[in-house]
Amino acid sequence: MNERVPIELEVNGEAVAKYVEPRLSLADFLREELELTGTHQGCEMGACGACLVLLNGKAVHSCLMFAVQAHGDHVETVEGLSQRKAIADIQQAFHNNNALQCGFCTAGMLVTAHELLSRNTTPTRHEIRDGLSGNYCRCTGYQAIVDSIVSVARSRAGNVDTPASPGERGTAS
Amino acid sequence: MNNALGKLDRPNSYIGRSVTRPNAKRLLAGKGRYVTDMKLPRMLHAAFVRSPYAHAKIMSIDISAAAAMPGVHLVATGADLAKLCKPWVGTLDHFRGMKSSPQLPLAIDKVVWAGQAVVAVVAQSRALAEDAAELVEVAYEELGVVTDIDLARQEGSEIINPDLGTNLSFTLKVESGDVEAAFKDGAVEIEDVFHFGRHTAVTLEPRAIIADYNSSEEQLTVHHATQTPYQFQDLYSRYYGIAESRVRVVAPDIGGSFGMKLHVYHEDMAVVGLSMLTGRPVKYVADRMESFLSDIHARDHRVTSSMTADASGNILGMKVDDVTAIGAFSSFPRTSVVEGNQVVRLMGAPYRFRNYRGDLSVVFQNKVQTSQYRAVGHPIACSVTESLIDGIGRRLGLDPFEIRRRNIITQDMYPYTSPTGYKFERLSHEVCLDKLHAEMDYPRLLKQQEELRAKGVYRGIGIAMFVEITNPSPAFYGVGGARISSQDGAIVKITPSGEVQCLVSIGEHGQGTETIIGQIVAENLGVDRETVRVITGDTDVTPYGGANWACRGAGIGGETAFQAAKKLKQNVLAVAAAILQAKPSDLDIQNAQIVDAGTGNIRIALSEVARISYFRSDTLPDDVSPQLTVAHHYSPKGYPFAFTNGVQGCHVEVDVETGFVRLIDVWVVEDCGRIINPMLVNEQVRGGAIQGLGAALFEECRYGETGQLENGSLADYLVPMAYEMPDIKIFHVETPTRDTELGAKGCGEAGTAAASAAAMNAVNDAIAPLGAHVSQIPMTPQRLLRALGKV
Amino acid sequence: MKARAFKYFRTQSLEDALQAFDRAGGEGCYLAGGQSLVPSLSLRLQAPELLIDISRIESLTGISRSGNVLRVGALTRHAEMLTSPEIARHAPLLRRAAPFVAHPAIRNMGTFGGTIALADPSAEFPAMTLAMDAEFEIASLAGTRTTKADGFFRGLFETGLQPGEILTAINIPCFGNADRCVFDELARRRGDYALVGAGVQGNFAQDLVSTIRIAFLSVGSTPLRARHAEAAITGRALSADAISDAQAALGDDLDPEDNEETSATMRMHLARVLLGRLLGRLSQPDCMRQDEVT
């Protein structure tokens, strides 16, 4: 039963053909076989959001599917999104606002933010918090992440916020 | 702000500025490198067979089927590892009379909590190791299970550690003044019993370790997601008998720690032995279920306490009886009694009453160990104190702000020694309290509350003052015999290109250590911070030091780097002076240029000084020997701790039909001394406050009567998530410590310290008109509905 | 937390899937969205020898209307309940319940048929099929059959599906002009399994309830209809008295589990509070307009 089966898929724009054990999760496949370790695992049961990737353009938990299920699909990870600069503005906003501390949740947060902003270009803070409801972060308290998504939405809409120079966030916000 | 160093208009002035974190870019690109990500050549993977029982004798272990499975390299029992690893005992000398039994990596004769590791399996992959673990057969004979803190102490109770003869690990009495007289004199007295649920750190990256023992050199390298690399170097060396210089502990990027990743874990100790036995690197990553079963838990206190005051609301005295349960052993090397110790010593800390008695009982039970997790003891002491003072105020018709104003330690009283022996250099309670009052617009909230109550909407306002312990000196652990360093080290060097490299013993876990050290070094040297590279987390590379715990990174590690950079600057100027035939005191460094101190005119580039020093020292006078690398170590010498303070406010709405609580607003006013980077301080405070709010409303490790953890998964243990959490407004007051030139104290625990107390006070304020009150966290819907008499 | 080894079979043919299950001799398991199955495998709570991936069978997809019935393919993802105009118009109760189903990324993968076949008593959609009087299309090697949602949910994770059968589609009577529906739940955190949740769909003649179906989740071992509560208000206007009668009648309808953390008494209390609030909303003639989805 440990025998490997062939799969072919596209990962970050590159064709990948591998033999895998059917029980290998997509997350483990990406991390172990392809060394795309930007995708993390925090619970292996779909409760933390650290392992989110795009499957055919939609955010999914890579721990909640087996690699064999992705045969013929397009998978994109934080590495791919970074490479093609699809989330450069989100990453910049996260950096400006310090919307990450340990960084372990960050890939999942970025994937959620990317998908959320593609569905809803002008989300309210409430909608953003709803969108993030499956992404666990133990470090930040979420506020800077929400701030970052708000600022990206505004700047994408052409309302370039004077991006709060971090100094001004120093006191109250 | 009286800020001698942080004038923000000077060149290279970074201290006090919200600058971004250079290392965050790597993490944002998915290029972090955590232990969970690492692969070494020929690496094997470990999985553990765990006890299904909370208390049982091990009758037999059959590993034959597992050992025979293809892909399995080793199946090791407790006896196998006991041949390599010495037992450890989680006690410290300064906790007099404290008891705990010896521990080994794997259970041998008996198991003492459900989830304890019994057998280790090492295989080619984690999946195969788990397959084989299912084939290990362990026969148990169940023993009586001790879970209840009262039953545990009763005569005739099952004893978890027969060698100790008792389930009581430690007791402590702290007494000052005349408590009984105070209670006799008091016009009003409030008593309550408080329950604080067990909770746990739930770092998003679970514990992870790769041990790599090379027998040809008798060299052990451990890649370890830990806060304290040197502590583990010492422990692996001493408990496995490997020379200290041949143990290297590397802590790369770490996915959260919060105090959880500095304790000795049985599996982690086992993995070192497993690598020695297999001769190959062995990796172990706790999966989430294992994290809940084996990471330290925290809190789990029941506090009976009373407070008395005169008719004007002056508090006269306080009595505290804290009973806390810590699992079957005291954890190592910091013990499991520190939280209780801090609970009884932090009680009433913001207030000036003198009569106090605190009793602490620390009890063993058949659960996983508790130990230090963010804001050790603070939330408990704060919740009890702040709830009781509200009670006194309510009884006397005094507003929560007013009753506190009448009792806080005021500016004219410093230095001040608390009845429990803590020495406060200078705190800022009055300013903080006034600031909170203004920023939350308290009168408006009160008015709104009254209007809404008329409509059947129950909102509550709660406040909680706190004092936080930071910058611990050797008085914390060293004095008790623990080899836990309270000093830190920094090595700063000018590279041949005139850039700066700084190696520090404090570590980076996302809180921004590397950033603030870069700010401090750049400012003190006079260079652009982009040119300062900070290196952390490798015992073969970085200087010896205690690293990150008890909020010491900025205060101790920061001062260390501060002084190292100052020394290095003098060395640079000495060389430059020789080159320029000037006096060092007439020179300065700005933007990596040696300048005339008076005029700011550029004389020579730092890179040129470096080039000459490293490659053309022949051109320098004979008596000039450039020292462009400087090492400096620092340990607090003045006050044993640098205390910080602040106050939090919380505004909630309670749905009195459902018992659900909605967090509307949270305010934090905090004083952590000199602020090096306001943005990073804010993030520490926010993240900390959210952990306190999680404790207030959601988090609790629930055990059944048989000692089984019933909610040990991320679906069942409720961590705070984005949807339920509020935006948090943060305000700063700065009272630098004069013990150091930098003046920084810690800020990592301030948020957690008072958030649950403020939330509990807010909820109680909301439901007070209905005659209801809660004294237990988390405040679940069921607990609130019961308090409200609805169910 | 790694699954035990298994064999994997993917097919685009319903017939092949059914035959593969048959050949596996009781050791097979269908895999659709996998959002419940995969964690269960990772935790080794389940360990089938063969996983039959039915997620690419074309005939199980799509949403279409025929006459007064909306046919929702079993592979319809939860996320589509939020975006499909057909769902919003003809099965608005699903639209209203969908935001409460787990989290966005789970909704992108989880399937409507999968959640019904699993029959988790705490899941939103299975209960809603009761409130909507849905009918299930089921395929087996013997052919196809249909069965009503009423009677389908038999016990904890137990349904009327026989081993090997595949739920292929859900037929939902189209929402009418005189119909109203509401959904809400009380969950500790957004996306958590609710302490209690309910959907109500009724047909009104003026302000009188002509017919009404009330379905609860998280208050028993299966999704449950509150028939006594329904009876208490049928034919009446949703006055305070009527609502209070419905709340009282819940005692005969629900059988919540009792445990330390969530006592049966509390769940019953919360169910009554929730029902009261839902019926209050439903009593508003314009509730379909003002009932803005959150």
Per-residue pLDDT tens for C244-287? 999 999 999 998 999 888 999 999 999 999 999 999 999 999 99
The Cβ of residue B32 has, within 10 Å, a number of other Cβ atoms equal to 27
Are residues A158 and A92 both part of a single domain?
yes
* Whether pLDDT at B4 is above 80: no
Substitution target in A138, A146, A150, A169 with the highest count of B β-carbons within 10 Å is A138
Q: Tell me the pLDDT band of A165, cut-offs 50, 70 and 90.
A: very low
Tell me which chain A residues have a C-beta less than 8 angstroms from the C-beta of B205.
40, 42, 102, 104
Last residue of a domain, one of C173, C203, C224: C173
Q: Tell me the average pLDDT across B361-372.
A: 98
Q: Is residue C2 part of a domain?
A: no
Cβ–Cβ gap A43/B255 under 8 Å: no
> For helices B229-240 and B266-278, what crossing angle results, to 10°?
60
pLDDT of residue C116: 98
Question: Which residue from C43, B674, B341 is spatially nearest to A23, judged by alpha carbons?
Answer: C43
Q: Is residue A114 part of a domain?
A: yes
Tell me which chain B residues have a C-beta less than 8 angstroms from the C-beta of A111.
none
- Dihedral class, residue B442 (left if φ above 0, else alpha if ψ from -120 to 50, else beta): alpha
Cβ–Cβ gap A45/C102 under 8 Å: no
**Cβ burial, residue B445 (10 Å; 0-12/13-18/19+):** middle
The mean pLDDT value of chain C amounts to: 96
Torsion of Cα atoms, B335 then B206 then B69 then B73, to 10°: -70
Range 170-189 of B in CB contact (< 8 A) with A: none
Are residues C77 and C44 both part of a single domain?
no
pLDDT of residue C260: 85
Per-residue pLDDT tens for C127-155? 999 999 999 999 999 999 999 999 999 99
pLDDT of residue A160: 67
Q: Is residue C81 part of a domain?
A: yes
Residue of B nearest to A2 (CA): B128
Interface check for C108 against chain A (CB to CB < 8 A): the answer is yes
Are residues A37 and A98 both part of a single domain?
no
Residues with Cβ within 8 Å of residue C126, at least 6 apart in sequence:
C115, C116, C118, C119, C120, C153, C217, C223
Are residues C234 and C197 both part of a single domain?
yes
Per-residue pLDDT tens for C114-132? 999 999 999 999 999 999 9
Q: Which residues pair with C167 in a beta bridge?
A: C138
Q: Are B500 and B517 in contact (CB under 8 A)?
A: no
Cβ–Cβ gap B660/C186 under 8 Å: yes
Cβ–Cβ gap A96/B730 under 8 Å: no
SS3 assignment, position B756? helix
Distance CA A24, CA A7 (A): 12
* Whether pLDDT at A169 is above 70: no
CATH number of the domain where residue C83 is located: 3.30.465.10
CATH number of the domain where residue C31 is located: 3.30.43.10
The DSSP-derived string for B439-471 is HTTHHHHHHHHHHHHHTT-EEEEEEEEEEEEES
Range 645-684 of B in CB contact (< 8 A) with A: 675, 678-680, 682-683
Are residues C163 and C216 both part of a single domain?
no
CATH number of the domain where residue C252 is located: 3.30.390.50
The DSSP-derived string for B548-608 is SSSS-IIIIIHHHHHHHHHHHHHHHHHHHHHHHTS-GGGEEEETTEEEETTT--EEEEHHH
Residue of B nearest to A79 (CA): B30
* Whether pLDDT at C37 is above 90: yes
The mean pLDDT value of chain B amounts to: 97
pLDDT of residue B255: 97
Are residues A59 and A73 both part of a single domain?
yes
SS (H, E, C) chain C: CCCCCCEEEECCCHHHHHHHHHHCCCCEEEECCCCCHHHHHHCCCCCCCEEEECCCCHHHCCEEEECCEEEEECCCECCHHHHCHHHHHHCHHHHHHHHHCCCHHHHHHCEHHHHHHHCCCCCHHHHHHHHCCCEEEEEECCEEEEEECCCCEEECCEECCCCCCEEEEEEEECCCCCEEEEEEEECCCCCCCCCEEEEEEEEEECCEEEEEEEEEECCCCCCEECHHHHHHHCCCECCHHHHHHHHHHHHHHCCCCCCCCCCHHHHHHHHHHHHHHHHHHHCCCCHHHHCCCC
- Full strand arrangement of the beta sheet holding C7-10: C7-10, C50-53, C28-31
Per-residue pLDDT tens for C50-88? 999 999 999 999 999 999 999 999 999 999 999 999 999
Distance CA B734, CA B173 (A): 34
Distance CA A58, CA A76 (A): 9
pLDDT of residue C227: 98
Q: Chains touching chain A at 3 or more Cβ pairs under 8 angstroms?
A: B, C
Cβ–Cβ gap A22/C42 under 8 Å: no
Are residues A45 and A112 both part of a single domain?
no
CB burial readout B605-641, b (16+ within 10 A) else e? ebbebbebbeeeeeeeeeeeebbbebebbbbbeebbb
Question: Which residue from B597, B610, B777, B611 is spatially nearest to B700, judged by alpha carbons?
Answer: B777
Q: Tell me the pLDDT band of B690, cut-offs 50, 70 and 90.
A: very high
Of B127, B724, B791, the CB nearest to C263: B791
Range from B7-16, B552-561, B738-747 carrying the lowest mean pLDDT: B7-16
Q: Which residues pair with C5 in a beta bridge?
A: none
Q: Are B668 and B756 in contact (CB under 8 A)?
A: no
Residue of A nearest to B728 (CA): A143
Q: Tell me the pLDDT band of B701, cut-offs 50, 70 and 90.
A: very high
Tell me which chain C residues have a C-beta less than 8 angstroms from the C-beta of A56.
none
Range 157-196 of C in CB contact (< 8 A) with B: 186, 188-192, 195
Per-residue pLDDT tens for B115-143? 999 999 999 999 999 999 999 999 999 99
Are residues A116 and A132 both part of a single domain?
yes
Per-residue pLDDT tens for B409-467? 999 999 999 999 999 999 999 999 999 999 999 999 999 999 999 999 999 999 999 99
Q: Tell me the pLDDT band of A167, cut-offs 50, 70 and 90.
A: very low
Interface check for A149 against chain C (CB to CB < 8 A): the answer is no
Tell me which chain C residues have a C-beta less than 8 angstroms from the C-beta of B658.
186, 270, 273
Are residues C85 and C157 both part of a single domain?
yes
Distance CA B466, CA C231 (A): 56
Percentage of chain C lying above the pLDDT 70 cut: 98
Taking CA atoms, C153 is separated from B292, B618, C160, C181, in Å, by 34, 91, 7, 22
Tell me which chain A residues have a C-beta less than 8 angstroms from the C-beta of B34.
37, 40, 104
Q: Is residue C286 part of a domain?
A: yes
Tell me which chain A residues have a C-beta less than 8 angstroms from the C-beta of B729.
172-173
Are residues C150 and C168 both part of a single domain?
yes
Number of B to C CB contacts under 8 A, please give it.
56
Q: Is residue C228 part of a domain?
A: yes
Q: Tell me the pLDDT band of B774, cut-offs 50, 70 and 90.
A: very high
Interface check for A21 against chain B (CB to CB < 8 A): the answer is yes
Taking CA atoms, B556 is separated from A39, B441, B488, B569, in Å, by 35, 37, 7, 20
Cβ–Cβ gap C1/A22 under 8 Å: no
In terms of residue numbers, what domain contains A35? 5-82
Of C1, C7, C109, the CB nearest to A44: C1
Q: Is residue A111 part of a domain?
A: yes
Are residues C115 and C195 both part of a single domain?
no
SS3 assignment, position B257? coil
- For chain C, the domain total comes to 3
Last residue of a domain, one of C128, C152, C173: C173
Range 243-282 of C in CB contact (< 8 A) with B: 260-263, 265-266, 269-270, 273
* Whether pLDDT at A43 is above 90: yes
The alpha carbon of residue B383 and the mean position of all alpha carbons in its chain are separated, in whole angstroms, by 18
In terms of residue numbers, what domain contains C62? 58-173
Are residues C143 and C167 both part of a single domain?
yes
pLDDT of residue B53: 98
Taking CA atoms, B730 is separated from A147, A171, B689, in Å, by 15, 6, 10
Q: Tell me the average pLDDT across B716-731.
A: 98
Q: Tell me the pLDDT band of B389, cut-offs 50, 70 and 90.
A: very high
Q: Chains touching chain C at 3 or more Cβ pairs under 8 angstroms?
A: A, B
pLDDT of residue B8: 62
Q: Tell me the average pLDDT across B523-529.
A: 97
* Whether pLDDT at B9 is above 80: no
Residue of C nearest to B704 (CA): C260
Range from B652-661, B702-711, C282-291 carrying the lowest mean pLDDT: C282-291
CATH number of the domain where residue A53 is located: 3.10.20.30
Domains of chain B: 24-32+487-634 (3.30.365.10), 35-143+202-294 (3.90.1170.50), 297-474+638-787 (3.30.365.10)
Interface check for A94 against chain B (CB to CB < 8 A): the answer is yes
Are residues A91 and A73 both part of a single domain?
no
Q: Are C138 and C166 in contact (CB under 8 A)?
A: yes
Question: Which residue from B715, B71, B225 is spatially nearest to A63, judged by alpha carbons?
Answer: B715
Percentage of chain B lying above the pLDDT 90 cut: 97
Q: Is residue A172 part of a domain?
A: no
Q: Tell me the pLDDT band of A166, cut-offs 50, 70 and 90.
A: very low
Q: Tell me the average pLDDT across B68-88.
A: 98
Are residues A105 and A78 both part of a single domain?
no
Are residues A40 and A14 both part of a single domain?
yes
Cβ–Cβ gap B698/C5 under 8 Å: no
For residue B775, what are its two tokens? 């004294």
**Is cis: bond before B162, omega within 30 of 0?**
no
Interface confidence, given as ipTM, is: 0.97
Number of A to C CB contacts under 8 A, please give it.
98
Are residues A68 and A138 both part of a single domain?
no
> For helices A143-156 and B678-697, what crossing angle results, to 10°?
120
Cβ–Cβ gap B718/C273 under 8 Å: no
Cβ–Cβ gap B130/C44 under 8 Å: yes
Taking CA atoms, B121 is separated from A164, B63, B115, B556, in Å, by 52, 9, 15, 41
pLDDT of residue B7: 56
Q: Is residue C250 part of a domain?
A: yes
Question: Which residue from A45, C4, A29, C192 is spatially nearest to B287, judged by alpha carbons?
Answer: A45
Are residues C34 and C63 both part of a single domain?
no
The Cβ of residue B276 has, within 10 Å, a number of other Cβ atoms equal to 21
Last residue of a domain, one of C147, C173, C199: C173
> For helices B750-767 and B678-697, what crossing angle results, to 10°?
40
Residues with Cβ within 8 Å of residue B669, at least 6 apart in sequence:
B432, B433, B435, B436, B439, B646, B647, B648, B730, B731, B732, B733
Q: Is residue A173 part of a domain?
A: no
pLDDT of residue B6: 47
Substitution target in B285, B657, B718 with the highest count of C β-carbons within 10 Å is B657
Q: Is residue C201 part of a domain?
A: yes
Q: Chains touching chain B at 3 or more Cβ pairs under 8 angstroms?
A: A, C
Distance CA B725, CA B694 (A): 9
Per-residue pLDDT tens for B267-303? 999 999 999 999 999 999 999 999 999 999 999 999 9
Cβ–Cβ gap B686/A140 under 8 Å: yes
Question: Which residue from C83, C78, C63, C88 is spatially nearest to C108, judged by alpha carbons?
Answer: C78
- For chain A, the domain total comes to 2
Cβ–Cβ gap B258/A167 under 8 Å: no
- Full strand arrangement of the beta sheet holding C224-225: C179-186, C196-205, C208-217, C224-225
